Each structure stands twice: as C-alpha cells, then as structure tokens.
C-alpha cells in the first residue's frame, strides 16, 4: 500500500523547528517560526492567562463534549473583539462564528465551506504570503494563484499591481488578505489603500477572506482590527479567521475562530449549520481548555485590561528589537540601508537575504529564519541580538 508513497518536503516553517531542535550549536537562535519570546528568551505565560486558569482551578469543571461550534461565551467574545461589542452585525445576529483549532483551523473550516458553496472559484493569495495559505487552500481543492504584493526592488508594496490583479479577477474569486502585520513581509497597506482594496473587491464581486492572526502586534488591537469596519461598511459578505496563538501566547492550545459575515440572521444560521458539518466531519468539536481561558479573559473586564497591557508590552518590545537591529547591523559593519526593518510591523522582517545567505546563517551560525529571508524579530532579545546581527553582517 505504501511502497509508492513519496517523502513529502519538510514544512517550510514548522520543519525548521525540527532542524533547530536537532542543532547542537550552543549559540543557536530560532527566528524561523512566528513565536514571541520575552527578553530572557522564554515563551511567556501571560499573567491574564494564569489568573484565568487560577479561576478555573478554583471551580473545576468536568469535561463534557463542547458544542460543535465551541463555547458560546467564547464565540460571543470573538465576535465582540472582531466586529465590536454591541455592533450592528453582532446585534442583528448576522455573524456565524465557530471556535476553531487556531487561525489555521479557522482558515481550513472556511476553505472547506467555500469549496462547497463556490466549487469553481479560484483563490488569490498575496505574493508572497504565509507559506501555509497556498497549501491549505490547495488541499481544500482550490486552484491557488497570487496577486502582486511585495516589490523587492523597491522594498515596499506593489499596490498598483495588487489593485490591477484584483480588478482583473473573475467575479467570485476568493481573495485572502492579511488584516494586519503581513506575514511574511511585515508591510501593511495604509487605511486609504484598504479603502481602495475594498472598493475593488466590491466592484468585482470578489469574496474577501481576512486572516487576522496578529491583531494587536501592529499598532494596537483597535487599529489592527480597523479593516473589519471597512469591509462591514461595504456591505459585502466576508470571512475572518482569528488566532489567539500569538496574542495570548497560547500556541499549543490551538485557540482560534472563524467568523462569516452574512446578510441577515437567517443566512447566518444556515451558514453556521454548514460550518458545523465541516467541524463535525473533521474533529467533531473543539477542545475546552484554551477556549475557556480566552473567554474568561475577554469576558472579565479586569483580565481583559491586563491582557491589553501585556499585549502592548509584547508589541513595544518587538518595536525596540526592530530599532536595535537596525542600529546593531550598522555597528556590525553592514553598509546597506537596513532601516526598513524598523518600518515593518508585526512579528516578521522580510530581510532581503537570499536563500543561500539564510542557509549559511543556519549552518555556520545556528541562526534560523525561513529560506525566503523571513526572520521573526519577536524572538530577538537583548542577549542574542548582537550575535544575530554579527552573523547577518558576515553573510551579507
Ligand atoms: C508562522 O508563520 O511562523 C506562524 O504563523 C506559525 C505557523 O503556523 O506557520
């Protein structure tokens, strides 16, 4: 049965973790996967998460099956976060939200559902995009193409190219957009450019699918989520996948969601019933713990405030690391202008380093980033940044 099964290539992001773990270099630094580490190089366990878990331990609950669509209080908290508490679509019950296994799970439920309602549509992702977007939508049965996004020569966004591609896309095309903190480039379009994107999508009857995995890591929770308001105002149906992996530092709990904005409550109820089939036939229903933690934090004002504070601290530390990297690369003798690192937002910097340079960083220095030159600046700290910058200076 398996004699002809081929060895699949290593996952371009998570596969690096395996290589990193096997590396015996004592100075190794993992800038591969998008994970935030604190200044001591430790994965943070947020205070708000600990407080929620304490509350949960004080009233231990048996673990029955959750509803297929997850914890109701969790889904409500996601809707409030994404669309605004008491906002019109929430009040009129025209959002179908399900708890999902991380942001990836939200994308996959949405992709499987879209394959049913729109089997012949094509999917457009940004060029470049998160490595898993293409694979995930391809696995769901779609043909995946891309729209221009990053212009390497200009070190910025090819916005004209993006708009031209959207204008040329056939009606019904599914367009995957990064709501904030574009992964991998770190370049976001401006609010005014978002307006143009929304107009183009609406004019061409495209289907927007917003991937919001880094809300709060760019400018702030509200600022990073502002694009949702623009799509709401357009009157379009759209999809939003949410991840709390990074913003709650709950990577291993797989806490995310999918929200589908519909025209009315009746439509949302029917969409929800279909999303539940996608879930039931894949993993039946979601796990309890992570969803309960996030729901407790988001629905308890004092814990929510604490979360916002802790998220702001993560965001600010990343910004400090970006500036420090620019300064230290210069000090290490890099003559080319690296100031773009401080202009990019979110967890990643698209460094402009080539695949051979990234390979050399890995093999000679134990500094891991993806082959595309993406580096997770959220894993830099005051102890490893000098070493990383000197290593980069050497390969440059
Ligand atoms: C990343 O891009 O590194 C993260 O989103 C983690 C992942 O699942 O790939």
Ligand 1 environment, Cβ below 6 A: 13, 33-34, 130, 132, 183, 213
Q: Which pairs with CB-CB distance under 8 Å and at least 24 residues apart come from 16-19? A: 16/368, 16/370, 19/362, 19/368
Class of domain 14-45+304-395: alpha beta
| Architecture of the structural domain at 53-300 | 3-Layer(aba) Sandwich (3.40)
Interatomic CA distance for residues 343 and 329, integer angstroms: 15
Is there a contact between 71 and 288 (Cβ–Cβ < 8 Å)? yes
Instruction: Please choose, from the candidates 151, 106, 111, 108, the residue with its C-alpha nearest in 3D space to the C-alpha of residue 128.
Output: 151
**pLDDT band at 196, cuts 50/70/90?**
very high
Query: On the CB side of 31, how many CA atoms lie within 13 Å of its CA?
Result: 37
**pLDDT band at 212, cuts 50/70/90?**
very high
In angstroms, what is the span from residue 347 Cα to ligand 1's centroid?
Answer: 10
**pLDDT band at 27, cuts 50/70/90?**
very high
Q: What is the mean pLDDT of residues 189-198?
A: 98
In angstroms, what is the span from residue 266 Cα to ligand 1's centroid?
Answer: 35
DSSP 334: -
Protein residue with its CA nearest to atom 9 in ligand 1: 13
In angstroms, what is the span from residue 342 Cα to ligand 1's centroid?
Answer: 21
- The per-residue pLDDT for 194 is 98
Protein residue with its CA nearest to atom 5 in ligand 1: 34
Q: Which atom of ligand 1 approaches the CA of 130 most closely?
A: 2
Q: What is the mean pLDDT of residues 8-16?
A: 92
In total, the chain counts a number of residues equal to: 396
Name the residue of 34, 102, 245 whose CB sits within 8 Å of the most ligand 1 atoms, as the mutation to test its pocket.
34
Which of 108, 158, 188, 246 is the catalytic position?
Answer: 246
Instruction: Please choose, from the candidates 168, 175, 128, the residue with its C-alpha nearest in 3D space to the C-alpha of residue 148.
Output: 128
Protein residue with its CA nearest to atom 4 in ligand 1: 34
Match 């916002």 to its residue by tokens.
308
Q: Do domains 14-45+304-395 and 53-300 have the same CATH topology?
A: no
Tell me, yes or no, if 211 is annotated catalytic: yes
pLDDT tens for 41-77 read: 999 999 999 999 999 999 999 999 999 999 999 999 9
Q: Which residues of 361-373 are buried (b: 16+ CB within 10 A; e: fewer)?
A: bbeebbbbbbbbb
Protein residue with its CA nearest to atom 1 in ligand 1: 34
State the complex-level ipTM: 0.95
pLDDT tens for 270-316 read: 999 999 999 999 999 999 999 999 999 999 999 999 999 999 999 99
Domain ranges within the chain, ordered by starting residue = 14-45+304-395, 53-300
């Amino acid at each position: 049965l398996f004699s002809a099964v081929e060895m699949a290539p290593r996952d371009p992001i998570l596969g690096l973790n395996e290589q990193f773990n096997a590396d015996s270099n004592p100075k190794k630094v993992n800038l591969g996967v998008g994970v935030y580490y604190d200044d001591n190089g430790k994965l943070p366990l947020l205070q708000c998460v600990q407080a929620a878990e304490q509350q949960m331990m004080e009233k231990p609950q048996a673990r029955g099956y959750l509803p297929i669509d997850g914890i109701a209080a969790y889904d409500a908290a996601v809707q409030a976060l994404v669309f605004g508490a008491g906002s019109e679509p929430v009040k009129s019950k025209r959002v179908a939200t399900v708890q999902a296994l991380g942001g990836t799970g939200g994308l996959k439920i949405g992709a499987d559902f879209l394959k049913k309602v729109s089997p012949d549509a094509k999917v457009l992702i940004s060029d470049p995009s998160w490595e898993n977007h293409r694979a995930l939508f391809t696995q769901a049965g779609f043909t995946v193409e891309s729209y221009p996004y990053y212009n390497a020569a200009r070190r910025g966004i090819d916005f004209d190219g993006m708009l031209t591609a959207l204008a040329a896309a056939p009606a019904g095309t599914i367009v995957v957009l990064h709501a904030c903190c574009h992964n991998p480039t770190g370049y976001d379009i401006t609010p005014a450019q978002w307006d143009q994107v929304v107009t183009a999508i609406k004019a061409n009857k495209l289907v927007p699918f917003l991937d919001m995995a880094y809300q709060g890591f760019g400018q702030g929770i509200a600022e990073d989520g502002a694009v949702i308001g623009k799509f709401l105002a357009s009157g379009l149906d759209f999809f939003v996948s949410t991840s709390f992996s990074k913003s709650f530092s709950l990577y291993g709990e797989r806490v995310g969601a999918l929200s589908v904005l519909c025209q009315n409550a009746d439509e949302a109820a029917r969409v929800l019933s279909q999303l539940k089939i996608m879930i039931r036939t894949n993993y039946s229903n979601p796990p309890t713990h992570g969803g309960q933690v996030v729901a407790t934090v988001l629905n308890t004002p004092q814990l929510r405030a604490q979360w916002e504070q802790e998220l702001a601290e993560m965001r600010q530390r990343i910004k400090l690391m970006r500036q420090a990297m620019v300064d230290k690369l210069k000090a290490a003798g890099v003559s080319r202008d690296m100031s773009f690192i401080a202009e990019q937002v979110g967890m990643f910097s698209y460094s402009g380093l080539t695949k051979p340079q990234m390979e050399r960083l890995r093999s000679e220095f134990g500094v891991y980033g993806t082959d595309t030159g993406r580096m997770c600046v959220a894993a830099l700290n005051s102890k490893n940044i000098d070493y990383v910058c000197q290593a980069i200076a050497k390969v440059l």
